[in-house]
Structures are given as C-alpha cells and as structure tokens.
Structure 1
C-alpha cells in the first residue's frame, strides 16, 4: 500500500468507519453538523448575508476539468444527493426516539422535503441549489423543524426516563 493511499485511509475512511459503526456517535456527530448548518442558514436568512464571490472564471474551471478529465458538475450533484440521503437516514433514525404524534408528523414533513431535494437533483442533473427554486420560507421552516426534531430526539434518547408498560 502506498503512502498516499494509507494517508487517505487514515484521514478519510477510518473516521467514517468509526462513526458508522456506532449509532450513538453517528447520531451525535450528524446531529451537531445538522444543527450548526441549520443555525447558519437561519442566521443568513435574517442577516441577508451575501455569499463571498470567489474569483473563479468559468474558463479556468473548464481547463481544470479538461486537465483532470473529471466533471465537477457531476461531482457536485453526487455530493448533494449523498447529503440528502444521509439526512433522510438521520431523520428516520430520529423517528424512533420521538414519542409525540406532532413531532412524528413534523419529522415526516422534513423527510419528505429531503426526498424532494434528492428527487430534484436526480431528475434535473444540473448543479442548481434547490432552496433557490422554492420559497425561502419553506427552507426556513425546514431548518427550524430540524432544530426542534434534533432537540427532542436528544432529550428522548439520552435524558427522558424510561417508562416500562
């Protein structure tokens, strides 16, 4: 095994295997990532922060794609689909810890949203943000709902008393 492939294994795949092998660690790590992402999106919605322009020219991107013989657009679409599927799996996992029907309905709405995002990226095959095509209010609602669901799931998983019937 070459040094580069061993380094990639240690830096990338080993932490992923450790996180995937323990459901509690998966829940905590992904819950923190989703929470921070939702908080950042909510802050950007209120602050109307403009994204920083990176001085990239379309010709430069095409030159890199030609040099590497790699389509960056397909890679971005694959990333969006993978992220959506991971979020769907996380919220399905959260559904096992939610006890109230209103929380379960909210969870179903969030799961349907991410299924729609996944379907959009599979069907359209172009790298556009799904949230730009729908109203910002729905995206804001999904972020708030995600924070609520993660909070209640953490409470019911770690702090709620176990009731034996």
Structure 2
C-alpha cells in the first residue's frame, strides 16, 4: 500500500478535491481507500437504532453488516485518540490510501490551498508537504498543480505517495 495525505485548512477544498481524485485514480486502475480525520465529536450512528443502543449500553465495539456494506464502530471510552499508523493498520490492503486531515503528522502530503480562504500556507512550516495544489503557484520551489486540474493533482499524488511499509511515521 502507498500513502499520501491532503492537508489544508478547513474550507480549502480538500474533500471536493478528494471526491474528484478518487474516480480519476480509479480510471488509472488504482484502488483507493481514504482515512478522514474528524476535528470534532462525530457519530456515524443514528440515535434510537439498535447499534446505537448497543453502544449506549456500553459495548466497546459494534459491527453492523448488510449485503451492501459493513461498519465497525469502536468506542474509545477514555482511551487516547488512536494515531494515524494504528488507523492505517485497520484498513484492508489497497493500492493507495489518501489521508484527509492529520496535517500535523509526518506522512507525505499535498497541501490544498485556496487564497480566498484567508489562511496561511502550511508548507513553509511542514517539511512533509511534498507538493501543492492551489489556485495560485506557491512561494518556493515545491511542485505545484492548479487546484481545478484533477489529472495534474493525481499525477502529484502518484509521484509523492510513499510505500506504507517504508514510511517511518
């Protein structure tokens, strides 16, 4: 498996870009999984459903399955938030994992930047940013792709993804 991240401030367009990259990479024959960091308390379950009642009753894990998909929910119950390497180890093998968020971790990243967002660049402070996808060229010498050129961003993703087994994060 290979690993690359999309890092940027909220509102930069990471999710929009990612939803364009997945089918683009799939058309190139690359199987993609994603790992998304949530910055707030989130829930994938619905209050009142059986699985929600199981968790509320104290179950540490609840696995919900149907003919279309399955999902495993694990309650931290006071344990620290799991790290990126641990979470990656829970994914089934695939050609490429794209991480959205985890911008403070040490994996290689493509910075997603939008001028109108009014936030500072990340790459001057993060040596793990390998390239930039933005609506204007970044300061410095990093490889760059226009944010709306999905094929070009996909080229950067493929170029800078690292083998997960070799990653020292």
Q: Normalising by the residue count of structure 2, what TM-score does the alignment of the two structures yield? A: 0.24
Structure in which a larger fraction of residues adopt helix: 1
Structure in which a larger fraction of residues adopt strand: 2
